[in-house]
Amino acid sequence: MGTSMSALAQKPEEKIPDGTEGEFFHSLDSNVTIKKKKNWNEFDLHFTTLRLGAGLLYDGVTYAQDKESKQQADSGNYSLTPKFQTRDFRVLASGKFNTKRLFTWKAGFMYDGPSRSWFVRETGVTIGLPEINGNVFIGRTKEGFSLNKVMVGYNGWTMERQMALDVIPILADGIKYMGFFPKNKIFLNLGAYTDWLSHSQSFSTYKWQVDARLGWLPIQSLDNRHLLHLALNFRSGEPVNDQIKLRSRPEVNPAPYFIDTGTFPSDHSNHFGWEAYYTAGPLMLGTEYYLHKFYSYEKQNPLFKGGDFVISYILTGEVRPYMNTANVYTSVPVKKAVFKGGTGAIEFLLKYSQLNLNDGTITGGKFWRLTPMVNWYLSPIVRLDLAYGYGVLDRYNLKGGTQFFQSRLQVVIL
């Protein structure tokens, strides 16, 4: 999926590599016409195609706390109890209109397990614009800040994104441009959003925001077995009612919030960061780091910092695919599924992440976590994750250690 856009202009139909069938739904954010064997969940309605999909995430977690961690839980009025629960269930639909210019649509609806509520997720239309080496999406989507934030959640290497990205809302309503310039191997994402459609949504914490992501691929082999991805990110916005509240769980969805600034006044914020990823066959190294600056006279203009580093190795030899049209990684292919007599794909990884919500007069706490884990891709549809985590919370004048024992079952049809 790493073919340059100039090549795609000459060859508008591209075959999906084996094991990446699940990318069809998300490839609609590109200016590529996908040609592949029709699946059981695809239909031709003449004026548009229709593809139906669904996804389920089911999490389990238990904990072991030291004395200081238990005292912090008492001070924060929360408890860590073993849980097994549905993280979310999603119903997806997508299609391509029967037009000369690429014109696609998608719609997503999610049942959120913790809140037991339904939400509209990524929904809108994409218009291919080869004249400017890219495409434009209009609707509800990821802002376009951070590779790990932009990429499909089902394709992530860990169960949850790093904590420093919790400062950025997961979705926004507006317009986003995604372009790739193959001659220089440069990519550009630009987005502008408002809250006029999403004012009452839980993710809508900003009245407006703009984003820019500029990157370069100094190394990229034709098969993406050797890749170096570098990018810078910038974001600016105005919080709703000139107030904001930042908080983060310890990368465990059923867990309570460990760090929390409480609501504080802020009429503007700027966010800066960088991302770097390197692929050498089944090995992947990656890091992202972010600075979140909030302008608040009352709170002395706090600056919050956080980032992560990950090393991943796919023991069975598969290479994590990379897609130029969105400049993100996609789902790990499976050479031979367990259900067909194979071993599936097995990935080992180690991740370190941290976020500091202390600055100025704000003492939201800081937390770091180290996570070794294994991902077993039984097939392109079924995945099982097992993780151990050790983290230290610095809050309430205490430093408490917590061990996390996590599992996740993922089933997705895209």
Which residues are CB-contacts of 172 (< 8 A; sequence separation ≥ 6)? 140, 141, 142, 143, 191, 193, 198, 203, 204, 206, 209
> What's the confidence (pLDDT) of residue 11?
34
284 in a structural domain: yes
Q: In 3D, which of 328, 313, 319, 309 has the Cα closest to residue 375?
A: 313
| CA separation for the pair 108, 91 (Å, rounded) | 6
Q: In 3D, which of 218, 222, 212, 179 has the Cα closest to residue 322?
A: 222
The pTM for the full model equals 0.89
Q: Write b or e for each residue in 216-228: b if 16 or more Cβ atoms lie within 10 A of its Cβ, otherwise e.
A: bbeebeeebeebb
Contact (Cβ atoms closer than 8 angstroms) between residue 152 and residue 168: no
25 in a structural domain: no
124 in a structural domain: no
| CA separation for the pair 73, 55 (Å, rounded) | 33
Domains contained in the chain, number = 1
> What's the confidence (pLDDT) of residue 351?
98
Give the angle 325-328-333 at the CA atoms, nearest 5°: 100
Tokens of 118: 């339904």
> Domain holding 243: CATH number?
2.40.160.10
23 in a structural domain: no
For the chain, the helix, strand and coil percentages under 3-state DSSP, each to the nearest 5: 10, 55, 35
Q: In 3D, which of 212, 227, 221, 148 has the Cα closest to residue 178?
A: 212
Give the angle 92-205-76 at the CA atoms, nearest 5°: 100
Residue with tokens 């151990």: 388
100 in a structural domain: no
| CA separation for the pair 414, 411 (Å, rounded) | 10
> What's the confidence (pLDDT) of residue 38?
74
> What's the confidence (pLDDT) of residue 8?
34
Structural domain that includes position 248: 65-90+142-413
Contact (Cβ atoms closer than 8 angstroms) between residue 126 and residue 137: yes
| CA separation for the pair 159, 373 (Å, rounded) | 10
3-state secondary structure of 71: helix
243 in a structural domain: yes
> What's the confidence (pLDDT) of residue 198?
83
Question: H-helix or E-strand containing 194?
Answer: strand 186-194
3-state secondary structure of 385: strand
> What's the confidence (pLDDT) of residue 36?
53
Q: In 3D, which of 209, 275, 210 has the Cα closest to residue 244?
A: 209
* Averages of pLDDT over each 10 residues, the chain, 414 residues: 35 32 35 56 95 97 98 97 96 96 96 92 96 96 95 95 96 96 96 88 91 98 96 98 97 97 98 98 98 97 98 97 94 96 98 97 98 98 98 98 98 92
> What's the confidence (pLDDT) of residue 306?
98
314 in a structural domain: yes
406 in a structural domain: yes
Tokens of 216: 């370069």
- Name the phi and psi angles at 166, rounded to 5: -70, -20
